[in-house]
Amino acid sequence: MIRYLIILLAGLWLMSGCSDDMGNPLAVVQEESLSVTDKNWADSSLWDDGKAEVAIYAAERPIYNKKREFDYVYILVKETFNAKYNTKTESYEREDLFEVMKVNKFARIETDKYPYHFLTSIFTKRKMPGNLHKMTHSSQEWCGNTYKEFRKEKSSYVYNYSSYWDGQGNGNLLLPGNVWFEDQLSYTLRALDFKDGMTFEKQIVPSQVSNKAGEPKVKKATIRITRSKEGDINGAARYIQEAGIWRVEVEMGRSETLVYWFEDIYPNILIKKTTWDGRNLLLKSIDRQAYWEH
């Protein structure tokens, strides 16, 4: 009994120590994210026109040890959520409404036998481009389907998953609330307060776009911003040379580096992305449309 009491007291002491060092974890997340991102980035009336930004990328990623080429569709649109269901509202007469920016990423990838389908939905509050509010991901192929959800609750992310893989099945975990997810970077990095030579560190969860639902690993990343060199984005469908291009390097280890290229002018469109493991993007087309209207 005494042994268990000692363990309990030690645990309480450690928690109080963390509280003294970190204060309110959510406040820390907000302060850190807002110091490198522009909280007003999504305030532009561009996002109030009733349309979505639809970007199509020439993409490639390895599946079954082969490079697969496909179109990756990225959709960015403003939505209004209600707090009760934490999803897009059908009624605007409520008192619990708030605005989010939604990014939907859809891919159909052909393999030798059957296609893979990935759909990832990423939500950030309109005034908080650096903080993920919610993310869901689903994968479907002939072997089965997998679903993952990451939801911000106070100072943590609640991770729920359902996988067809042995050893995974159904479950849930908690992740620290001060992380960025690699899958949010295509949006969050657009809202950076771009400065040549700017460098900062961030804890990052690698991409969750897969058909598996293992325990996510958090990696310390160094993020560097520089002016892009000439020729870095050859072949892209859109390149405003007069405005220039920003290059953002995310180094998560000696051999794990992601590189993003963004236009210098608003809305800082993602032009190109390369990764250490061959998940690459190059912009083919982009426009604004009400894709839900038929």
| Residue position matching structure tokens 């007291």 | 9
Q: Indicate the helix (H) or strand (E) that contains 85.
A: none
Residue in 143, 138, 148 with CA at minimum distance from that of residue 117: 138
Per DSSP, the three-state class of 268 is coil
Q: pLDDT tens digit string along 58-95?
A: 999 999 999 999 999 999 999 999 999 999 999 999 99
Residues 131, 29: contact at Cβ < 8 Å?
yes
Burial class (CB in 10 A: 0-12, 13-18, 19+), 26: middle
Cα end-to-end distance, the chain, whole Å: 68
Per DSSP, the three-state class of 172 is strand
* Band of pLDDT at residue 15, cut at 50, 70 and 90: very low
How many beta carbons lie within 10 A of that of residue 240, not counting itself?
A: 12
Q: pLDDT tens digit string along 199-249?
A: 999 999 999 999 999 899 999 999 999 998 766 776 665 555 556 899 999
